Amino acid sequence: MIRRLILVSACLLATTGVALSSPAGAQSYAGCVATISTTTPTAGQTVTIKGTGAKASTALTASIGNSVIGTSTSDAAGAFSISAIIPKTASGASTVSVGCGGTDVATIGITVGAAPAAPTLPATGSDSFPLAGVGIAALAIGGLVLVGARLRSKSASI
C-alpha cells in the first residue's frame, strides 16, 4: 500500500512539473529600436532620438532621406541619444532613419509641419499726430491771444 502511495505521488509530482513548465524557445534579438521626442515636428525644430540595440560604442547617424540630421555614438550597452534638427526643407510625411551599425537600421515615421510664421505685434494705442497738431495750434493761438491782451492793456494804460 505504501509503495502504491509513493508511486501515485511520484506520478502526480511529475505530471505537475510537466504541466507548469514552459516550452524551450530561442531568444530573439529585437535589433535596433528608436523613438523620437515628437512625431509631428516643425521644419527647423530640434528633436531627440533615443534608442537601444545599436552595436556597442558605434558612431550613429540619423537622417531624413539623404540629409543627415544628427550624429552620436552608442554606449557600451548599445543605447543612444541623438539631438537632431529637422531640415527647413522637410514637409509632410517623412521617415527618420538611424543607422545602428552594420546593416541594422531603425526607422521612425514622422509628419513635418510648416515652420511657424514670425509673430506679429498687435497694433496698440492710436495715431496721435493729428491730436498733437491740434494741441500745438491751440497753444499757439492761446499765446497770440495772451500777447495781444498784454499789448492792449499796455496801450490803454499809457
Residue range 51-107, pLDDT digits in tens: 999 999 999 999 998 899 999 999 999 999 999 999 988 889 999 999 988 888 999
Sign of CA dihedral 47, 52, 58, 60: negative
pLDDT in tens, 15-38: 655 555 545 443 445 689 999 999
* Per-domain residue ranges of the chain: 33-112
This model's pTM is above 0.75: no
Encode pLDDT of 93-114 as tens digits: 999 999 988 888 999 999 998 7
Nearest CA to 39 out of 128, 109, 92 is that of 109
For the chain, the maximum distance between any two Cα atoms, rounded to a whole number of angstroms, is: 156
State which CATH number among 3.10.20.600, 3.40.50.720, 2.60.40.1930, 1.25.40.80 fits the domain covering 33-112: 2.60.40.1930
